[in-house]
Amino acid sequence: MGKKMDVVKKFWAKVERRSDNECWPWKGSFDKDGYGQIWDGNIGKMLRSHRLSAQIHHGEITGIVCHSCDNPSCCNPAHLFYGTSADNVADKIAKERQARGEKQGHSKLTEEQVAEIRKRADESYKTLTDEFNICPSTVYRIWNGDAWKHSHSRAR
């Protein structure tokens, strides 16, 4: 029990806790995949910090822990969810991004606009971010077919 507390305490000391919507960057060390890592002396194992965060906030881990924000170093529990299969995960990420895209003022895009951004992949980020009032990462995701995919595969 006492030891477990220590890991949690160590965890919080290395997380930059921000507002609920923002990513909470890991300030400790990282593994080769860019995930934060933390040593749990309790079980003698290196843990991934986002998994520990999920465990602290959401309870026992039942599957893979994924980031809806696509930021491996992020430890914000609001950005973490449990997935059971690769398919399930891809679907959920797409869904959450879409929900966020629709809710947040700065990236309110209709499907037509997304289609247009996709068509204009030879233009600069700046042109498109200015015109649609969105952030470069949104443009990037649209160009790479990663965003709003869900709306096109709903029939599945």
Given the structure tokens 């990513």, which residue do they identify?
A: 23
Nearest to Zn ion of 74, 117 (CB atom): 74
74 forms part of the interface with Zn ion (CB under 5 A):
yes
79 forms part of the interface with Zn ion (CB under 5 A):
yes
23 forms part of the interface with Zn ion (CB under 5 A):
yes
Nearest to Zn ion of 23, 135 (CB atom): 23
DSSP string, 118-147: HHTTTS-HHHHHHHHT--HHHHHHHHTT-S
Q: Which of 54, 66, 69, 114 binds Zn ion (CB under 5 A)?
A: 69
Assigned token pair, 67: 């980031």
113 forms part of the interface with Zn ion (CB under 5 A):
no
88 forms part of the interface with Zn ion (CB under 5 A):
no
Residue 83 and residue 66 in contact, taking contact as beta carbons nearer than 8 Å: yes
76 forms part of the interface with Zn ion (CB under 5 A):
yes
Tally of helices (H runs) and strands (E runs) in the chain: 6, 5
66 forms part of the interface with Zn ion (CB under 5 A):
no
15 forms part of the interface with Zn ion (CB under 5 A):
no
137 forms part of the interface with Zn ion (CB under 5 A):
no
Residues in the chain: 156
Nearest to Zn ion of 71, 98 (CB atom): 71
Rounded to 5°, angle at Cα 82 from 24 and 48: 50
Nearest to 55 by CA among 45, 21, 34: 45
* Residues in touch with Zn ion (CB under 5 A): 23, 69, 71, 74, 76, 79
